[in-house]
Amino acid sequence: MTTSKVTVNSKLSFENTEIFVGLDVHKKSWKVTIRFNDIEMKAFSMNPDPVALKTHLDKNYPKGTYNTVYEAGFCGFWIHRKLTKLGINSIVVNPADIPQTNKDKQFKTDTRDSKTLAKTLENKQLTPIHIPTVEEERFRSIYRLRNQFKKDMTRTKNRIKSHFALYGIEFGGWSVKNLTILRKKSEEHDEGFLILELLDMHDLLKLKIKQQSAKIKQQLKVLKKDKECDILESVPGVATLTSELLIAEVISPTRFESDDQLSSYAGLVPSTASSGEKDISRGITSRRKGALRHALVEAAWKATNCDPELALAFSKLCLRMTKNKAIIRIAKKLLIRIKRVWTKMEPYKKNVNMTTQTIIN
């Protein structure tokens, strides 16, 4: 193992000085901008290596307090973890939350992006996103991979049905018995080898989904969150897949200081525009965790059929808005209840003393 030596000017010291570093990260290179005391010191390109960055900072700004920022994206959080391990204060931000001028948007370059990151970091204009632990990120990756396999399965099934229709072969369904019959029909057909390839893909994806589901159960036990799943599934409308999704994407209810922050994260709040005396609601926000919002809306539809209080709230809302708008409010209400039982780690209890005077917030 080789070790690198850093030559430092002993007379130069940035002790008690905040050094701010903006990183525009890419696969093959990083654009780096360094600032302190409202002065842009240097903008340059370097290899994607946290150790090399630390070496550069130690050599040119010895004993300084280093602060870095980069945008969340394809590279995940390994850079953040390495920088933190090297003693550097690192944050990761949502690209959509970085303040930008119209000029920045019209003339976008990697160097300009790194300069904007460094400047906004120095001005304390950035809000960092939550960084999951390695174990939490692993669980999220396993969960998302299973979802990708499920999407591939849907595409494969559609292709199989299309090929059966193309060759005039009757399709009988997806049971094991029918699949066996389909294979036999395909083997007897001149072009059946195409369908057999797709059926092999179907069987492989089915196996992969089953394996990922087993890994999810195993990882829940490693994280000691299997009990949390049981608590979440006590909420009306929340099934196993939804509880696993909540743990994968929300991770913990304590992440959010308020109900509104959690609702905003899930995308269950309206997009608004105010100017002067005008307040305009532009409908549900486009900022969301897509899979999470979809699951919560589906859970809300189910909950209105098994929870009297939510059913009454939904019927009252439907008197002044469409069902599709009303169910979004029920989904938000359901999410807040999920947060309550999750935080207290107590099973959900229906309001058996509910009256028709229930107030809709």
Nearest to 185 by CA among 203, 200, 201, 167: 167
HEC secondary structure over 153-207 = HHHHHHHHHHHHHHCCCCCCCCCHHHHHHHHHHHHHCCCHHHHHHHHHHHHHHHH
Average pLDDT of the chain to the nearest whole number = 89
| Arithmetic mean of pLDDT, 133-146 | 95
- Is the four-CA dihedral 235, 333, 293, 153 of positive or negative sign? positive
Distance set, CA 68 to CA 75, 80, 225, 230 (Å): 15, 9, 32, 40
Residue 289 binned pLDDT confidence (cut-offs 50, 70, 90): confident
Residue 274 binned pLDDT confidence (cut-offs 50, 70, 90): low
pLDDT tens, 326-344? Answer: 999 999 999 999 999 999 9
With 80 as the cut, is the pLDDT of residue 243 above it?
yes
Strands of 30-36's sheet in order across: 39-46, 30-36, 18-25, 65-71, 89-93
Q: Which two tokens mark 260?
A: 């509104």
Residue 10 binned pLDDT confidence (cut-offs 50, 70, 90): low
Residue range 18-122, CATH number: 3.30.420.40
CA distance 323 to 309: 17
With 70 as the cut, is the pLDDT of residue 188 above it?
yes
Q: What is this structure's pTM? A: 0.86
CA distance 61 to 9: 10
CA distance 22 to 17: 16
DSSP string of 218-236, one letter each residue: HHHHHTT-HHHHHHHTTST
pLDDT at residue 3, rounded to an integer: 45
How many Cβ atoms are within 10 Å of 134's Cβ, its own excluded?
Answer: 10
